[in-house]
Amino acid sequence: MDYDKSYDVGDFFATGSFDIKCDPILYENGRITLDYRIHSKCHSKDLSEILSFIQKNYRKAYSQVLAGVFSAYRNNPKWDVWIEEANNFLRIDFTEKEELHPYIGIPTIDLAFCGGKIFWGMTFSGGTNKLSYEHGFCTVFEQEKLLVLADSDFSLILKWWDYYYTNGNILKTSSL
């Protein structure tokens, strides 16, 4: 992969939703419906293939996201959790990555087809994400490999790829 590149994908072209098999311990039942956004033009066959891939690999990918957020949270004393009942941010000492699940919200899946590559990500927006990120955070995957965890939007991460992959990547600063 060329890491000294940017991908100009802009806003999304289309949206939809699809069912995902997920961890029943985290999500009460074994399925959840997630929204997705397509940030570039694609063929319907490519879209079907990547959605199928995500359906098959969501549990593993989500586990990687939890591990990355857990590591970053433990290494950043400025991160807190918004507790609505207290109407305040509080520091919680999580002992396992799964404990973060109720606080990061339900992700929206983002998709981009760029120069023969397919990138996908999970965006945890500031509205449902209770960690002390004003605007939430986003991940970027290439197939099953988690490449970036950042406090930015999917399209901006791809547009400024060289920065986010090297300097703006929370995964790089949180010793996974």
Round to whole Å and give the CA distance between 80 and 172: 20
Pairing of strands 108-114, 117-125: antiparallel
Angle, CA 12 vertex, CA 8 and CA 14 arms, to 5° = 140
pLDDT bucket at 107, cuts 50 / 70 / 90? very high
pLDDT reported for residue 1: 45
Q: Is 118 helix (H, G, I), strand (E, B) or coil?
A: strand
CA distances from 3 to 110, 158, 163 (A): 20, 11, 9
pTM of the model: 0.87
pLDDT reported for residue 176: 42
pLDDT reported for residue 29: 84
pLDDT in tens, 111-146: 988 777 889 999 998 777 888 656 678 999 999 999
More confident site: 27 or 173: 27
